[in-house]
Amino acid sequence: MPATGHTVKVNLPLSPYSVRIAAGLIERVGAEVASVSTSRRVGVVTDSTVGPLYIDRVTSSLRSGGFEPIVATIPAGEAHKTLPTLLPVYDAFLNARFERSTPIIALGGGVVGDMTGFVAATILRGVPFIQIPMTLLAMVDASVGGKTGVDHAAGKNLIGAFHQPAIVLIDPDVLKSLPPRELRSGLAECIKHEIIRDEAGFAKLEANLDRILQLDITTVADLIAHNVQIKANVVAADPFENGERVHLNFGHTFGHAIETVSNFSYAHGEAIALGMTAACHAAVKLGMLTQIDKDRITRLISRAGLPIAGMKLDVDAVVDAMFFDKKVKDGKLRFVLPGRIGHVVIRDDLPRGLVAEAIHSLKG
């Protein structure tokens, strides 16, 4: 195994799986897939941006591993994360007479991962699913945990299923072709993971941030492995989001509303950066978090090239959007707020005035 190699186990009781992280892994997909499947054929779903860059390397490695790949390419971008986009994918795989044992690989960011997972969950009532996440967000967040699905006009991710992958293959080298704004967006989720679970990890991220932004691959591989471990621990403790998995929503109650009201001009991670900042503001006002910890958090977010201020959106529009979120229970908004770096609590008793004030604080 190369020096940057890591394996993280996701210990789900019924369907444990491994997340392999190693530079150059994209060239060895065939051997890795052979470790979990004896099928001859294998489906691959990619998008119109990732496909031209990587599909040849993946299919030739699959062929060397004895597989016959059948590739379906979907248009890139969240706007295409809908059921109609998937119809030609089902056609391609059903016409090729896929069987219950034929695995389907997602080669792309979180959009391709969620959509491919949904195909794998539903085609023939479920076939094995393999993730090759290609964005930092997909590596540290979307590829682990088994949430799959598509958007609907009524909201994001409203149609979906839980379907865990058989294996997740991560090659940190592929981040070199990722637009820098997408890299920073993924870093927002890494910062989130440290705030909810790991003060020492937060300090390490503070120390390593510049090397990470320069894509020093050993440091980036460590970061990915550490973040996958955090997500794996949370998911293994609460596979269906009945309890502590909700901690992963830190920054997301504010952030989703900001993302929606901005009409997606904020990238997801940028909206989450503002959302984490607003959540910290509320936590300080409630006497839960020290100003020192809040400043440390916002300094790291800002150093990662993510916004903590300068928001131009209408505060009332953001507050209203928050109450429309699918996660609102009995009209009560649930917030995940930090008590300190590395520890969060769930609160559903925030007065609307404080919520509005926290959003207003982002305008400065």
Ligand X SMILES: NC(=O)c1ccc[n+]([C@@H]2O[C@H](COP(=O)([O-])OP(=O)(O)OC[C@H]3O[C@@H](n4cnc5c(N)ncnc54)[C@H](O)[C@@H]3O)[C@@H](O)[C@H]2O)c1
d(Cα 37, Cα 104) in Å, to the nearest integer?
11
Q: Which of 81, 163, 184, 294 forms a contact with ligand X (CB under 6 A)?
A: 81
Q: Which stretch binds ligand X (CB under 6 A): 15-23, 32-40, 75-83, 250-258?
A: 75-83
Find the shortest distance in angstroms from Cβ 176 to ligand X: 8
Find the shortest distance in angstroms from Cβ 286 to ligand X: 27
d(Cα 133, Cα 314) in Å, to the nearest integer?
35
Write out the binding residues for ligand X, residues 303-362 only, by CB under 6 A: none
- Return the SS3 of 20: strand
- Per-residue HEC secondary structure of 82-134 comes to CHHHHHHHHHHHHHCCCCCCCCEEEEECHHHHHHHHHHHHHHHHCCCEEEEEC
Tokens in use for 153? 């006009």
Q: Is 211 a catalytic residue?
A: no
Q: Is 231 a catalytic residue?
A: yes
Find the shortest distance in angstroms from Cβ 268 to ligand X: 6
Asked if 49 is part of the footprint of ligand X (rule: CB under 6 A), the reply reads yes
d(Cα 197, Cα 73) in Å, to the nearest integer?
37
Find the shortest distance in angstroms from Cβ 189 to ligand X: 7
Contact map string, positions 123 to 162, toward ligand X, x by CB under 6 A:
-----------xx-xx--xx--x-x--------xx-----
Q: Which of 4, 6, 22, 47 forms a contact with ligand X (CB under 6 A)?
A: 47
Nearer to ligand X, 293 or 307 (CB): 307
- Return the SS3 of 241: coil
Contact map string, positions 175 to 194, toward ligand X, x by CB under 6 A:
--xx---x------------
Find the shortest distance in angstroms from Cβ 142 to ligand X: 3
Q: Is 125 a catalytic residue?
A: yes
Tokens in use for 214? 């320069």
Burial class of residue 12 in the structure, from the number of CB atoms within 10 Å of its CB (0-12 exposed, 13-18 middle, 19+ buried): middle
Asked if 108 is part of the footprint of ligand X (rule: CB under 6 A), the reply reads yes
Q: Is 189 a catalytic residue?
A: yes
Nearer to ligand X, 184 or 281 (CB): 184
* Choice among 193, 249, 270, 294 that is catalytic: 249
Tokens in use for 166? 């058989």
d(Cα 307, Cα 312) in Å, to the nearest integer?
12
- Alpha carbon 162 to its chain's center: 15
* Choice among 193, 256, 281, 294 that is catalytic: 256
Asked if 111 is part of the footprint of ligand X (rule: CB under 6 A), the reply reads yes
Asked if 165 is part of the footprint of ligand X (rule: CB under 6 A), the reply reads no
Task: Tell me how many residues contact ligand X (CB under 6 A).
Answer: 29
Q: Which residues pair with 148 in a beta bridge?
A: 161
* Choice among 78, 199, 241, 357 that is catalytic: 241
* Choice among 125, 263, 312, 329 that is catalytic: 125
| DSSP code, position 284 | H
* Choice among 268, 270, 281, 294 that is catalytic: 268
Q: Is 80 a catalytic residue?
A: no
Find the shortest distance in angstroms from Cβ 13 to ligand X: 19
Candidates 248, 223, 226; CA nearest to 235 is 248
Q: Which residues pair with 131 in a beta bridge?
A: 106, 168
Q: Is 6 a catalytic residue?
A: no
Q: Is 249 a catalytic residue?
A: yes
Query: Alpha helices, DSSP H only, in the chain?
Result: 29-34, 50-64, 83-95, 110-122, 136-137, 180-197, 199-213, 217-237, 252-261, 268-285, 291-303, 315-324, 352-360
Q: Is 100 a catalytic residue?
A: no
| DSSP code, position 62 | H
Q: Which stretch binds ligand X (CB under 6 A): 31-39, 72-80, 283-291, 342-350?
A: 72-80
191: left (phi over 0), alpha (psi -120 to 50) or beta: alpha
Active site residues: 125, 147, 189, 231, 241, 245, 249, 252, 256, 268
Contact residues toward ligand X (CB under 6 A) are 47, 49-50, 53, 76-78, 81, 108-112, 114, 134-135, 137-138, 141-142, 145, 147, 156-157, 174, 177-178, 182, 268
